[in-house]
Amino acid sequence: MNSRKDKTVNDTLLPSDYKRALTIGGHYAQLTVNVPDVPFWVSSGDAFAYRRRIKGKHQFILVDAATAKKQPAFDHARLADALSRAAQKDYSTGGLPFDRFELADNEITFSVENTSWSFDLVSYVCTSKTTLEIAQQYVYDDTPPAENDPKKTIASPDGKWLVYIRNYNIFLRSHDGLQDIPLTSDGSDGNYYALSTLTWSPDSRHLAGYRIRPGHKREVHFVESSPTNQLQPRHWTMTYPKPGDPLALPQPVLFGIISQREIAIDDASFQNPYYLSPIQWWEDSRGFTFEYNRRGHQLYRIVEVEAATGKVRSLIDERSKTFIDYHCLVDQEHTGQKFRCDVEDGREIIWASERDGYEHLYLFDGRTGELKNQITRGDWVVRAVYHVDPVKRQIWFGASGMNAGEDPYFVHAYRIDFDGTGLTALTPETANHHIEFSPDGRYFVDRWSRLDVPPRLVLHRTSNDGEISQVESADISELVAAGWQPPLSFHAKGRDGETDIWGIIHLPANFDRNRRYPVVEHIYAGPTGSFVPKSFSASVQPLAQLGFIVVQIDGMGTNHRSRAFHDVAWKNLKDAGLPDRILWHKAASATYSWYDISSVGIFGGSAGGQNAVNGLLFHPDFYKVAVATNGCYDNRIDKIWWNEQWMGWPVGIEYAQSSAVDNAHRLQGKLMLIVSEMDRNVDPSSTFQLADRLIRARKYFDMLVVPGADHGAPGNYCQLKLVDFFVRNILGQIPPNWNAAGTELRISDSGS
């Protein structure tokens, strides 16, 4: 190679180079030994299991928590044989198509694609249990359905009554069948009582639930042009609410069973709801609570209703001038709710909040709603709550950003007392830690790694923070010997001149620091999280194998830093942290002579597709070439929950300002759009509307429509088109003629 520092990579790429780029990841996977996946607890919590990878093959290991004894979780050969017969597909012993399972009563259950399976560990018989239809796989409207089947009943805890729905109304039937009593008579198909929401008080004296006034049922239609099991196209329909659509109105209702009358509930405290959570009774039956997220996501409240009177009061209010990120620290038992833990039947409530500018935990008096104390505090964020011990009054949690001089996204485990004292670090290794607590809280497993350090799996006892066993330690010596190298971590100041922006640099194959390499950014700036990898992976970026530097950056507007960092996204998704990213690139170029930013490329999918296009539209002086896959290019076209969360409600001018469709006339660089015909996450119309506007603006671009593909699986053909596009438009090379004899790339198309 030429040793001149100003020499830019421009060696002619051969078909063999492409083949290496698109297959080297699979080869590298054959070179790692004993790499453990994320562990999971099974049965009653006395044991946990994990899948480990040994030179490209998988094996499930079961570990007894008390003794740390390891053994195969089941007979892999017999399960592979039984599943192959039952599913009429060929599955290998080392390639079982699932990554976790549940174990109970000599039976394991697992899911493959859309089907649930059970495997009997005694008879070695595999049986399919349920198969989800397409409409069940994608649920964007969780409005409880109207049911009118008197055979569907819910029994009271004391066994005396059954409740059911008939003609959209609530009826009580005595257990002996002698009494059949209507509780309501005003239900209709346009304002019905929903059986699935009804719940009895523990003492059986009250019944609560929701009455539902349906909203607008917006539908998205698909034409599957090339189904695999028939010649003619197939039509699909999916309910898919969008920003600004009228929503269903749930109205809590309460009934006294002895009086057989409705007890009125004043709805003034939960007007215009975006979401009301399932009703949750206090154990002593004094009342129930539900969580209220007002449309616009700027008020989130715990509402309590007194059972005897229907009196309503707000226990905890969360308010924001921008948005409340109710997914930031999610209560895993209740989808769509903030973290909440009721202590001693609600005598106290542990609550997650960003009210001081960072995600932290607070202790409230559950009877008065008054704040007792802030539990965690500091310029760092709580990322997860693992276990709460109400007897010891201690919390085990995960947090990032606490350790000075360390990557602020590394998650560590800690313990703290309810009163905010006794903060104890449990994971001293400078790495990213994934913690799984046993259901009873007696043990936890720590899987930790870094980009340059392979995973280790360690079992701990909670009572004394003691290490029981080093369960697994991965070996990557063959991988390193084969030329694999980890990405380089780099950080630089953002647009405010103070905040560090963190990212990683995937170095080119056969890297020579005396050469200069073109840069392509792989972007995903969705505000839901942070996306730059922090844990070990043997995977590679195909473009890096073709002589590109590939980078990933978490700019402002993404999650897991301060609230001010996150708020940049509000009503401003076009920003995507691009000003911070550009400064990061420039700092990297000033630091490394081999980092060439004369013609920067950018690519991404979903929100990353939107980000990539916006890089060209709003920063054409820096980003020159983009490939965007299945992007949500106009937030008015995409799903309601994502877009009203970040872009606000009601729909305002900000939606148009962030719209790539409305700003299509700005295009200056080279653009390729890829869209999956059957994308059930982002409405494919978003891509077609962008294409239409680009055509009307007389802008030249490339476009690929992938028949039959869904959101995240456009396939390796698209990966080839992507690398070709950057080779042609940044390196200035003409890619091989892939249709010519002898040049075909025979790569498994299992998804990119």
CB atoms within 10 A of CB 87: 16
For the chain, how are helix, strand and coil distributed in percent, rounded to 5? 15, 35, 50
Paired strand residues for 516 = 8
With contact defined as beta carbons under 8 Å apart, do 456 and 448 qualify? yes
> Which stretch of DSSP H or E encloses residue 107?
strand 107-112
CB 680 within 8 A of CB 238: yes
Candidates 410, 329, 334; CA nearest to 362 is 329
**C-beta of residue 291 within 8 angstroms of C-beta of residue 302:** yes
CB–CB of 597/728 below 8 Å? no
> How many Cβ atoms from other residues are within 10 Å of residue 723's Cβ?
24
* pLDDT (0 to 100) of residue 702: 98
* Inter-residue contact 278 to 254 (CB < 8 Å): no
User: 720, 18 in Cβ contact below 8 A?
Assistant: yes
Joined together, the tokens standing for residue 716 give 């390796």
pLDDT for 419: 98
pLDDT for position 330: 52
The CATH architecture to which 15-28+479-731 belongs is 3-Layer(aba) Sandwich (3.40)
Residue 648, SS3?
A: coil
Pull the structure tokens for residue 474. Answer: 């991965």
pLDDT of residue 138: 79
Phi, psi at residue 717, to the nearest 5°? -60, -40
What is the per-residue pLDDT for 742?
A: 79
Q: What single-letter amino acid sits at 11?
A: D
The pLDDT value recorded for residue 114 is 85
pTM for the model: 0.95
| Residue ranges for the chain with pLDDT beneath 70 | 1-10, 132-137, 328-336, 745-752
